[in-house]
Copies of this chain bind each other. A is one copy, B any other.
Amino acid sequence: MKLLLASGNAHKLVELRAALPGWEIGLADAALPPETGSTFRENARAKAEAGRAAAPADAWVAGEDSGIEVAGLADRPGIYSARYAREDATDEENVVKLLGELEGVEGGGRGARYVCELVAIAPDGRELCVRGELEGAIAHAPRGDAGFGYDPVFVPERESETVAELGDAWKSEHSHRARAARLLAGLLGEP
């Protein structure tokens, strides 16, 4: 089965491939819509629908949206995670902003959740939506070089290292994106 990801983020394509060995996963050839939804799922759906219009008839098209919800910030930045510091912010700028907002916040207030929503649409209009989550906490300073986004400051529950320290192999098994991908694969059946 062929699955095309409607995304401009190469990291996400790499992670999806690692999480779904055996699947033929490419990039959808489509202009991505602006993220105007009020939920991860609405944004993911809009990308999938945009990709579906231009996709070949034998492919499912997936849209993805993901982000981080921080307890002490009333679940912000949420759907604004990639543009937290400013529009077109770098990962570093967003991490700096997050650490600044959490200055003086300790304990449960640093609790956080990585969320990934995947929406896959078939040529016949069938649509599958799945949500993967990863619970954890925000570290006090960045550590590690792997991954992207908030990985250098996200420490998953039951771990002491950040996702950026735990590395790609760990992510392909445990990340919010890997969990969502496996739920999707469970619904799609064998590759």
Contact = CB atoms under 8 A, between A and B. Distances in A.
Interface in A111-154: 124-131
A187 interface: yes
Nearest to A121: B129
Contacts of A128: 126-129, 187
A185 to B, nearest CB: 12
A183 interface: yes
Report the copy number of this chain in the oligomer. 2
A43 to B, nearest CB: 15
Overall SS of chain A's interface: mixed
Contact of A129 (B127, B130, B131, B183): B127
A176 to B, nearest CB: 13
A128 B125 CA distance: 11
Contacts of A127: 41, 127-130
A39 B183 CA distance: 27
Contact of A126 (B124, B125, B126, B187): B187
Contacts of A124: 131, 183
Contact of A131 (B41, B125, B183): B125
Contact of A130 (B126, B131, B183): B126
A158 B187 CA distance: 33
Contacts of A125: 129-131
The 10 closest A-B pairs by CB, nearest first: A127-B129, A125-B131, A126-B130, A187-B187, A128-B128, A126-B183, A126-B129, A128-B187, A126-B187, A124-B131
16 contacts: A41-B127, A124-B183, A125-B130, A125-B131, A126-B128, A126-B129, A126-B130, A126-B131, A126-B183, A126-B187, A127-B127, A127-B130, A128-B128, A128-B129, A128-B187, A129-B129
